[in-house]
A and B are shown apart, each in its own frame.
Chain A
Amino acid sequence: MQAHHLLASYLLVWLIQGGYAAWIVWQWRRTGKELQPDPADLSPRDEGS
């Protein structure tokens, strides 16, 4: 039982810490896409006649 508790404890730590870090990375990349300029905004505007 003791070995199971020790193993479960370390796995829990890595699961929670690693899971949170992975979530930050995922959200970072998602937010990065939103900050990229829209290609439609980069094309020159037609000022009209």
Chain B
Amino acid sequence: MVKRSCVFGVVGMVWVVMTLAAIAYATRLALFVAPTENTMLDVQRIFYYHVPTSMLSLLFPYVNFVSSLFYLGWCRRDPLRALTADAVAIAAAEVTVVYSSISLLTGMLWGRAAWGVWWAWDARLTSMLLLWVLYVSYLILRKLSSTGQTQTLAAVLSVFAALDVPIVYISIRLVKYGVYTQHPQPVFGGDSNSGIAPAMMHAFGWNVLGWAMWGISLLLFRYGLERRRQQSEQASALKAIEGSLEIVQ
């Protein structure tokens, strides 16, 4: 009978190999195969990293949000199960910070080349920066707080942080209502003039797939790390209790 951990190990290795292969292929498409854009020329290729990363940075917050809700629901009734939800929450928050950092930095580099400025306080950039600040705050709270209520406080913060995600999404869709944005109008789901060439769509699709697989990999490994830490803390606490019992005896 094959142990479950061996099966997970093999599946995990296959997933990692597939992820790296997808990213390598997507990078090749983005840098060497996709056609050169007419106006921005080669700097437009930042699009193949910037947009998938930005899209994914709006999905991982919801993983954090849902797992935080589960934590709040379970923390009194089933504390051990609540720890599992908490591990998912912190993993998703860290991946959110990674992806939103890349989105902001690649956007700044692209903006500098395209517009001549590193930053503009418009709707999209400001709301995205706010998202980054909220999840960095979540991680700082987790790291520096030493009360027994840390996980509960972080879970409540994540509920409010997730409210920024639809604001980021809608920020470039309110131009017709007078909301200023320097950011380009949506490429997908925009008006009748939106969309990209089919040859670019192929490269873009592979980049979305590759970076989504990578993000899921990071999430799962970070979740596993957090579970190991929780077990380590439980083992230390048990050892301390056993030690104190021996002293009493």
List chain A positions with a Cβ less than 8 A from chain B.
1-3, 5-6, 8-10, 12-13, 16-17, 20-21, 24, 27-28, 31-32, 34-35
Contact = CB atoms under 8 A, between A and B. Distances in A.
A32 B228 contact: yes
- The winner among B31, B42, B228 for most chain A CB atoms within 10 A is B228
Interface in B35-55: 40-43, 45-46, 49-50, 53
A46 to B, nearest CB: 13
B228 A28 contact: yes
A3 B225 CA distance: 38
Contact of B225 (A5, A6, A12, A24): A24
B129 interface: no
Contact of A12 (B106, B214, B229, B232): B106
A22 to B, nearest CB: 11
Interface class of chain A by DSSP:
helix
B102 A17 contact: yes
B224 interface: yes
B101 A16 contact: yes
A12 B221 contact: no
Nearest to A19: B98
A24 B222 contact: yes
Contact of B106 (A1, A9, A28, A32): A9
B43 A6 contact: yes
A32 to B, nearest CB: 7
B94 A20 contact: yes
B228 A31 contact: yes
B183 to A, nearest CB: 16
B21 interface: no
A28 B102 contact: no
Nearest to B227: A31
B223 to A, nearest CB: 10
B232 A28 contact: no
Given A1-B113, A27-B225, A13 B232 contact: no
A13 B53 contact: yes
Contact of A35 (B105, B112, B218, B228): B228
A12 B105 contact: yes
